[in-house]
Amino acid sequence: MADNQKDLYYIKDLPVPETPAAGKEPEPWDKTNIIGKRIPRVDGYERVSGTAVYPADINLPRMLYGAILRCPHPNARIRKVDISVAEKMPGIRSVLTNDNPAAKVKWQWAKGHEGPLFDPHCRFEGEAVAAVAADTPQQARDALHAILVDYEVLPFVIDERQALKSGAAKVHPDGNQVKKDSYSRGDVASGFAAASVIREHEFRTEAELHTPMELHGCVANWDGGSLTIWESSQGVYAVQSKVAATLGLPLSRVRVVGHYLGGGFGSKLQPGKYTIIAALLARQTARPVKLFLSREETFLCVGNRPPANMKIKAGVKQDGTLTALEFIATATGGAYPAGGTSILDWLVRDLYTCPNVRCETTDIFINGGPARPFRAPGHPQCSWALEQIMDELAEAIGMDPVELRLRNVPRVSQGRGGIPYTTTGLEECIRQGAEAFNWAEARQAASRMNQAGGHLKRGVGMGSCVWFVGGGGPPSTVIVKLFADGSVNLNMGASDIGTGTKTVMAMIVAEELGIKPELIQIENADTGTTQYATPSGGSKTVPTEAPTVRSATVEVKRQLLKMAAEDLNEPVDALRFDGEIVVSTRDSSKQVKITDIKQLNKRGVVIGIGYRGPNPEGKSVNPFAAQFCEVEVNTRTGEIRLLRFLGSNESGRVINRLTYDNQVFGGITMGIGMGMTEFRQFDAGQTGKLVNKNWHDYKLPTALDVPLQMTSLPIDLPDPEANNSGAKGLGEPVTIPTAAAIANAVCHATGVRITSTPLNPLQVMSSLANSRRKED
């Protein structure tokens, strides 16, 4: 390659960070050149042009198409499955049922809960009953209709509020209670006795369904005894592990590839039965099999955000000091243990300083699809209750809601026994967010408008949060290669779930080496060719992978300095990087281009390996956020119009401001869906079936439902104790307080506290009518 072509990789006159000595962690960045900028996605062209290859785009020679027959009842036993007609239909290559020896594998729902892949007792609508492989998708679907199943339809329970009552149908022989957890500190009775004001309310959030744009599914292909799966997944190594364990294969015999993902939000952190079924069909037919679920199937069997019923009691002194919090909740993860109450009470434990806290949560079985983690599990539900009761307390003592929260900002993680946070930006999120939103002025203007009369009412509300984790942690391994021409390859196992992970990691390499981010070639999410990584989710990807990528890149720099030292006859500690050259700090005339280093040209490549180190001992790494919104409520129709939203987030160092802001806006949009439009509706009276399993009847927020004015306000507070990149997680906290902030704004506008989601016109009008009746 010509020298002028080599030079294209590097950014001219760009100083790069100092290189630490071997064995030492790199120092936190001071002034940065690329980190913190608005950098377009390195794979943006591929995504928008349609050249990015998603798992659903995979087409292999002789490929078949799989489809799954699902139980239409919430609770039923299978007496008989008749496949005699289906297996003779044109194009049908294989039919699997529980009677087929090839399908005799166990599926583990959770530890201690496993059963047949095709379970004769179907405990929720959508459970797999049989599967087919055919030459075309249409032939596969037609064959499903030809399979005759004799069901013994059983009594069902689809409401966790009824499931523990005497006479309720049993989901499992031992009853419907999965577990009960409790937490306490201090003495809540004494805390309430010391309170000037006590408020108590019951709240409910409805179940929310993930329904990502890209459907769940995979392509499976066998090569002898080795299996390759192209899966729409948030973590290829997690899929590899589950598939290998289920099929009794060595990990080395299972390769999982997932370079692109069209949304997951937690529902693709694990494989599904469809993954195993595709692999079995492929083995039976000795041909590749593509099996992707229909949109309706994804509503039934690949997860949800559990509904929650919460009773919260709170006490406060007249000066705004919280004295006691009591939180009692029930929730359901569906027909199998799936984290129905997972960290549901964490905000009560940890968000605000309070010496006396008691929590009790009960997880309950119902005949519904099992839950899966959903962006910030448990937190948006708890926020719905806690943030509304905080506003109630503020009103009762005549204090501004912002001020009440500022009076109770914690400096330690109370839920973890009082260990300190590495950094805590909650106060800055609230204070700076309120200032940027013009909180005080907006509240006053809304009050003046409402006092003037009319059916349109304005309201301003807020909510804040902490996310349970967000500091990432080991294990993670990354390899960075620098070739003789100066080009760079980044190899990591992490999935880019649409959040810009590849771009962020390329920026870190670019910051350290002075190379253009878009010219870094990236390999990711392939268990056969990339390094081990845990699934991308829970706001752990950047704080886990970023320091690992930086460590690998720094190792490349160390080796280059050692090589350059021989060329320049200078000690290593007297050399530094200056863009595309290595220069002596003692004699600036002594310098060498990276691409001219003799050993690099002889070896052809320098390889740096990075490992994620442990999180700081005795410290808690957490991101914080606050959100502010203004609404207009039509008291004649119940319609709520969102006028503007501001999200302030403290997630450590901002790596890429462009993808950072997109995360904030996306999180707010998802929170709007939970708070205003989305809910799972069963037919409670007769069939127990899900009645809104499509995008027409299950309303996701669109561009018409979000405010025109959305603002992202980063509290850029690098956290050097968290990791060497200074970054913490962002994806979860951006959606936690949204629904509660809207509810508080609606209450400010109307004077009516609405305690159940969704805040749709029907709910609003019903609440307003009930309020008028009470006044009469």
Is the pLDDT at 582 greater than 70? The verdict is yes
Give the strand pairing for 226-231 and 217-223: antiparallel
| Calpha distance 44→522 (Å, rounded) | 13
Among 277, 300, 323, give the residue marking a domain's end: 300
E strands, 100-241, are 106-110, 113-116, 121-122, 128-134, 148-153, 177-185, 197-205, 217-223, 226-231
Residue type, 326: E
Would you say 705 and 676 are in contact if contact means Cβ atoms under 8 Å apart? yes
Query: Is residue 200 in some structural domain?
Result: no
Ramachandran angles phi, psi of 542, nearest 5°: -65, -50
Residue type, 418: G
Query: Is residue 705 in some structural domain?
Result: yes
- Quick: pLDDT tens for 74-91: 999 999 999 999 999 999
604 and 628 assigned to the same domain: no
Would you say 550 and 724 are in contact if contact means Cβ atoms under 8 Å apart? yes
Reading the block at residue 415, the tokens are 């839920």
389 and 407 assigned to the same domain: yes
**DSSP secondary structure code for residue 86 in this structure:** G
Q: Which residue, 422, 426, 386, is CA-closest to 410?
A: 426
| Calpha distance 347→328 (Å, rounded) | 13
Would you say 345 and 203 are in contact if contact means Cβ atoms under 8 Å apart? no
Residue 3 host element (H or E): helix 3-6
325 and 437 assigned to the same domain: yes
Domain containing residue 378: CATH number: 3.30.365.10
pLDDT of residue 169: 98
Is the pLDDT at 319 greater than 90? The verdict is yes
Read out DSSP for 230-258? Answer: EE--S-HHHHHHHHHHHHT--GGGEEEE-
| Calpha distance 5→675 (Å, rounded) | 54
Instruction: Identify whether 173 is preceded by a cis peptide bond (ω within 30 of 0).
Output: no
| Calpha distance 544→724 (Å, rounded) | 10
Residue type, 227: L
Q: Is 48 exposed, middle or buried (0-12, 13-18, 19+ CB in 10 A)?
A: exposed
Reading the block at residue 301, the tokens are 């069997």
Is the pLDDT at 1 greater than 60? The verdict is no
Query: For residue 2, what pLDDT band results from cuts at 50, 70 and 90?
Result: very low
pLDDT of residue 436: 98
Q: Which residue, 513, 514, 509, 572, is CA-closest to 21?
A: 572
- Quick: pLDDT tens for 82-133: 999 999 999 999 999 999 999 999 999 998 899 999 999 999 999 999 999 9
Largest Cα–Cα distance in the chain?
A: 92
**DSSP secondary structure code for residue 371 in this structure:** P
Read out DSSP for 613-633? Answer: -PPPTT-B---EEEEEEEEEE
Read out DSSP for 23-58? Answer: TSPPPPPSS-SSTTS----TTHHHHHHT-S--GGG-
Is the pLDDT at 490 greater than 80? The verdict is yes
593 and 541 assigned to the same domain: yes
Reading the block at residue 376, the tokens are 């910030």
pLDDT of residue 9: 66
**DSSP secondary structure code for residue 348 in this structure:** H
Residue where the block lists tokens 């031992």:
174
Would you say 94 and 133 are in contact if contact means Cβ atoms under 8 Å apart? yes
Mean local confidence (pLDDT), 631-658: 98
Domain containing 92 equals 55-154+211-300
E strands, 317-441, are 322-334, 357-365, 412-413, 419-420
Residue 439 host element (H or E): helix 439-451
Q: Which residue, 210, 224, 215, 217, is CA-closest to 275?
A: 217
147 and 272 assigned to the same domain: yes
Is the pLDDT at 5 greater than 70? The verdict is no
- Quick: pLDDT tens for 520-532: 999 999 999 999 9
- Quick: pLDDT tens for 339-366: 999 999 999 999 999 999 999 999 999 9
Would you say 579 and 446 are in contact if contact means Cβ atoms under 8 Å apart? no
| Calpha distance 153→743 (Å, rounded) | 41
Reading the block at residue 93, the tokens are 């290559």
Query: Is residue 652 in some structural domain?
Result: yes
Query: How far is CA 684 from each of CA 332, 691, 692, rounded to the nearest angstrom?
Result: 16, 10, 13
Please state, as a whole number, how many other Cβ atoms lie within 10 Å of the Cβ of residue 249. Answer: 16
Residues in the chain: 776
Structural domain total, the chain: 3
Mean local confidence (pLDDT), 36-55: 96
Among 611, 646, 678, give the residue marking a domain's end: 611
Is the pLDDT at 7 greater than 70? The verdict is no
Q: Assign residue 355 a region: left if phi > 0, alpha if psi is -120 to 50, beta otherwise?
A: alpha
Residue 68 host element (H or E): strand 64-70
Residue type, 440: A
**DSSP secondary structure code for residue 263 in this structure:** -
Residue 544 host element (H or E): helix 541-568
Q: Which residue, 190, 277, 262, is CA-closest to 229?
A: 277
| Calpha distance 200→312 (Å, rounded) | 6
Strands of the sheet with 197-205, listed across from one edge? 177-185, 357-365, 322-334, 308-316, 197-205
Query: Is residue 193 in some structural domain?
Result: no
Please state, as a whole number, how many other Cβ atoms lie within 10 Å of the Cβ of residue 111. Answer: 7
Side-chain half-sphere exposure of 205, counting CA atoms within 13 A:
36
Among 274, 300, 326, give the residue marking a domain's end: 300
69, β-bridge pairs: 130
As a whole number of Å, the CA-based R_g of the chain is: 28
Q: What percent of the chain has pLDDT over 70?
A: 98
| Calpha distance 464→508 (Å, rounded) | 30
Within 8 A by CB and 6+ apart from 162, the residues are: 168
Reading the block at residue 457, the tokens are 């009412």
Q: Which residue, 11, 38, 8, is CA-closest to 714?
A: 38
Is the pLDDT at 745 greater than 60? The verdict is yes
Within 8 A by CB and 6+ apart from 705, the residues are: 642, 672, 676, 677
Q: Which residue, 52, 66, 59, 55, is CA-closest to 231?
A: 55
Query: Is residue 36 in some structural domain?
Result: no
Strands of the sheet with 76-82, listed across from one edge? 121-122, 76-82, 148-153
pLDDT of residue 457: 98
| Calpha distance 289→270 (Å, rounded) | 19
Read out DSSP for 628-684? Answer: EEEEEEETTT--EEEEEEEEEEE-BS-S-HHHHHHHHHHHHHHHHIIIII----B-T
| Calpha distance 719→652 (Å, rounded) | 5
Would you say 384 and 306 are in contact if contact means Cβ atoms under 8 Å apart? no
Is the pLDDT at 246 greater than 80? The verdict is yes
- Quick: pLDDT tens for 441-464: 999 999 999 999 999 999 999 999
Read out DSSP for 582-594? Answer: EEESS-TT-EEEG
| Calpha distance 548→393 (Å, rounded) | 45
101 and 247 assigned to the same domain: yes
**DSSP secondary structure code for residue 7 in this structure:** G
Query: Is residue 541 in some structural domain?
Result: yes
568 and 712 assigned to the same domain: no
Query: Is residue 189 in some structural domain?
Result: no
284 and 312 assigned to the same domain: no
Query: Is residue 732 in some structural domain?
Result: yes
Mean local confidence (pLDDT), 604-620: 96
234 and 330 assigned to the same domain: no
pLDDT of residue 578: 86
- Quick: pLDDT tens for 687-712: 999 999 999 999 999 999 999 999 99
**DSSP secondary structure code for residue 385 in this structure:** H
Q: Is 173 exposed, middle or buried (0-12, 13-18, 19+ CB in 10 A)?
A: exposed
661 and 759 assigned to the same domain: yes
229 and 106 assigned to the same domain: yes
26 and 134 assigned to the same domain: no
Look up the pTM and report it: 0.96
